[in-house]
């Protein structure tokens, strides 16, 4: 081995030792659902963790030991902050003293439905002045295949770092499922793909300290694509369930009962369910990152496009169901009071990103309905230029509405009371399954 090669090996060996004995200092860039959950697990494992986020309110709350996420309790956060094992800042300069840096920033879509990796670019540019030899940089933000090697790697190399020698770069897709009590950061297997074998080994060494299983792949591009496949799979199957709901309405069959019947097969079938649309940061976005990338090669991913089209048609379908149900009772949408139950994109979380409820509320408002909403996780909501405050889902507010629309089936809602007191319900989640009566027209489903 040359003197230069030996020196390069020293960087990897020293970093591996720090990671394995948990004396490495770790910076987590972005303290949302992904970043804060990961930072907590790293801190609990004994690492000294510095979180970086440009949101001053988040940073202030975290440094006070106050959690702003459903999945991270204040009780669990406080001792980590009190011991200084976990702190937060808006200053990227902390990166200079960190041994590992993990980027967990958002990757939304532009209005043109093209990838927007500006948050990744901004994070990397902010880190560059503070990077030094001997560090591990991991990108967790969901992105299109090639981002790690085609976008991040050249920036590091232009800074004078040599990937796989004195700097180590990998991609490991986040797999956080907000609100899921069974599968968490600590027990969801981690996929890791490094630019070089040493990059993969070091990234895997870090994640093995905080997760139950690590699966190493041959490159960042494989890891990036695997993440997109996971959520494309969900998008396509949800679209199939939504199309089933359309078809079953035409032939007079209950789609929920059909799915329950099919789900009794112990092999070859996995149940997915229809709903008011797709929401959250992943399912509406990730498949389009994949289709955009392959479109650059001249191939059109038609299956992805069709699934997206079906799923994005659901909010309009829900509004049509509300209009039809009111019409059957001699009422128009205009002037009717509509109470929406649940505005977050999934049950028992406080995340409204890409939630179909927002589009449905806006459409109902444009049609002249008097809209209100109840959601214990979202006390206030911006609806265009209108600011709404949540109401309580009391028997009185339910009974007073001309139509109640269940968009998110939070566990705290009393569905027995809803079925009993509401004069009309459009149930997009089959939440009132146990309360539907044969021949009753007061509950309308997808």
Express each pLDDT in 135-187 by its tens digit.
Answer: 999 999 999 999 999 999 999 999 999 999 999 999 999 998 988 889 999 99
Query: What would the mean pLDDT of 288-298 be, rounded to a whole number?
Result: 97
Judged on CB neighbours under 10 Å (0-12, 13-18, 19+), 19 is buried
The answer to whether residue 413 is domain-embedded is yes
The answer to whether residue 167 is domain-embedded is yes
Query: What would the mean pLDDT of 18-25 be, rounded to a whole number?
Result: 97
Pair 156, 245 in one domain: no
The answer to whether residue 433 is domain-embedded is yes
Pair 158, 18 in one domain: yes
Dihedral angle over CA of 338, 340, 341, 346, nearest 10: 160
- CA distances 5 to 8, 10, 165, 170, 439, Å, are 5, 9, 8, 21, 79
pLDDT of residue 1: 45
Q: How many domains does the chain have?
A: 2
Pair 212, 251 in one domain: no
What are the tens digits of pLDDT across the range 64-76? Answer: 999 999 889 999 9
Pair 167, 284 in one domain: no
* Tokens 């700097």, residue located: 167
Query: What would the mean pLDDT of 252-273 be, rounded to a whole number?
Result: 97
Query: What would the mean pLDDT of 250-254 be, rounded to a whole number?
Result: 96
pLDDT of residue 384: 81
The CA distance from 250 to 443, in Å, is 17
pLDDT of residue 309: 97
pLDDT-wise least confident of 174-183, 231-240, 325-334, 425-434: 174-183
Domain boundary among 159, 186, 218: 218
Pair 19, 69 in one domain: yes
* Tokens 């939504």, residue located: 242
Pair 152, 272 in one domain: no
Q: What is the mean pLDDT of the chain?
A: 95
Domain that holds residue 40: 3-218
Annotated catalytic residue 282? yes
Domain boundary among 190, 218, 246: 218
Q: Predicted confidence band at 192 (pLDDT cuts at 50, 70, 90)?
A: very high
Pair 49, 163 in one domain: yes
The CA distance from 193 to 199, in Å, is 8
- The active-site residue, picked from 167, 199, 282, 403, is 282
Pair 18, 165 in one domain: yes
pLDDT of residue 386: 86
Q: Is the pLDDT of residue 393 over 50?
A: yes
**Which CATH number belongs to the domain containing residue 128 in this structure?**
3.40.50.720
The CA distance from 316 to 320, in Å, is 6
Q: Predicted confidence band at 8 (pLDDT cuts at 50, 70, 90)?
A: low
pLDDT-wise least confident of 39-53, 256-270, 382-396, 398-412: 382-396
Q: Predicted confidence band at 3 (pLDDT cuts at 50, 70, 90)?
A: very low
Pair 65, 21 in one domain: yes
CB–CB of 403/336 below 8 Å? yes
What are the tens digits of pLDDT across the range 54-65? Answer: 999 999 999 999
Tokens standing for residue 201: 């080994």
Q: Is the pLDDT of residue 438 over 90?
A: no
Domain boundary among 153, 186, 218: 218
pLDDT of residue 146: 98
Pair 75, 166 in one domain: yes
The answer to whether residue 24 is domain-embedded is yes
Query: What would the mean pLDDT of 277-291 be, rounded to a whole number?
Result: 96
The answer to whether residue 226 is domain-embedded is no
Query: What would the mean pLDDT of 257-285 be, rounded to a whole number?
Result: 97
In sequence order, which residues have a C-beta less than 8 Å from that of residue 176 and are 6 or more positions away? 33, 34, 37, 71, 185, 188
pTM > 0.85: yes or no: yes
pLDDT of residue 144: 98
Nearest to 118 by CA among 77, 85, 69, 151: 151
The answer to whether residue 101 is domain-embedded is yes
The answer to whether residue 225 is domain-embedded is no
The answer to whether residue 212 is domain-embedded is yes
Between strands 386-389 and 380-383, the pairing is: antiparallel
Pair 320, 277 in one domain: yes
Q: What is the Cβ-side half-sphere exposure of residue 22, based on CA atoms within 13 angstroms?
A: 14
Query: What would the mean pLDDT of 373-388 be, rounded to a whole number?
Result: 93
Pair 198, 95 in one domain: yes
Q: Predicted confidence band at 7 (pLDDT cuts at 50, 70, 90)?
A: low
């Amino acid at each position: 081995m040359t003197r230069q090669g030996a020196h390069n090996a020293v960087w990897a060996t020293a970093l591996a030792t720090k990671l394995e004995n948990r004396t490495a200092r770790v910076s987590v860039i972005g303290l949302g659902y992904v970043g804060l959950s990961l930072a907590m697990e790293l801190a609990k494992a004994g690492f000294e963790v510095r979180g970086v986020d440009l949101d001053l309110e988040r940073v202030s709350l975290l440094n006070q030991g106050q959690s702003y996420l459903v999945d991270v309790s204040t009780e669990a956060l406080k001792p980590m902050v009190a011991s200084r094992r976990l702190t937060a800042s808006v200053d990227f300069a902390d990166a200079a003293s960190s041994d590992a840096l993990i980027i967990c920033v958002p990757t939304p879509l532009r209005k043109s439905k093209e990838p927007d990796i500006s948050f990744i670019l901004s994070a990397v540019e902010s880190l560059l002045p503070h990077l030094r030899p001997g560090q591990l940089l991991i990108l967790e933000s969901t992105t299109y295949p090639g981002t790690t090697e085609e976008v991040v790697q050249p920036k590091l190399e232009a800074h004078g770092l040599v990937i796989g020698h004195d700097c180590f770069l990998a991609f490991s897709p986040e797999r956080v499922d907000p609100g899921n009590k069974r599968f968490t950061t600590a027990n969801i297997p981690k996929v890791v793909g490094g630019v070089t074998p040493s990059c993969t080994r070091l990234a895997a060494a870090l994640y093995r300290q905080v997760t139950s299983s690590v699966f190493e792949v041959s490159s960042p591009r494989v890891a990036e694509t695997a993440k997109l496949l996971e959520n494309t799979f969900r998008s396509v199957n949800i679209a199939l369930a939504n199309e089933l709901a359309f078809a079953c309405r035409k032939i007079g069959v209950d789609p929920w009962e059909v799915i329950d019947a099919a789900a009794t097969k112990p092999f070859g079938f996995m149940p997915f369910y229809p709903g008011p649309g797709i929401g959250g940061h992943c399912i509406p976005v990730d498949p389009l990152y994949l289709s955009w990338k392959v479109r650059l090669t001249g191939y059109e991913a038609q299956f992805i496009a069709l699934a997206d089209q079906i799923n994005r048609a659901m909010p309009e379908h829900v509004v049509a169901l509300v209009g039809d149900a009111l019409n059957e009772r001699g009422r128009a949408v205009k002037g009717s009071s509509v109470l929406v139950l649940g505005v977050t994109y999934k049950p028992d979380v406080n995340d409204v990103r890409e939630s179909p409820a927002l589009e449905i509320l806006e459409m109902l408002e444009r049609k002249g309905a008097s809209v209100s909403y109840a959601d214990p996780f979202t006390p206030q909501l911006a609806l265009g230029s209108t600011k709404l405050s949540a109401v309580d889902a009391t028997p009185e507010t339910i009974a007073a509405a001309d139509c109640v629309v269940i968009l998110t089936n939070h566990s705290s809602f009393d569905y027995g009371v809803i079925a009993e007191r509401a004069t009309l319900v459009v149930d997009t989640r089959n939440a009132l399954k146990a309360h539907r009566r044969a021949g009753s027209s007061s509950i309308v489903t997808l």
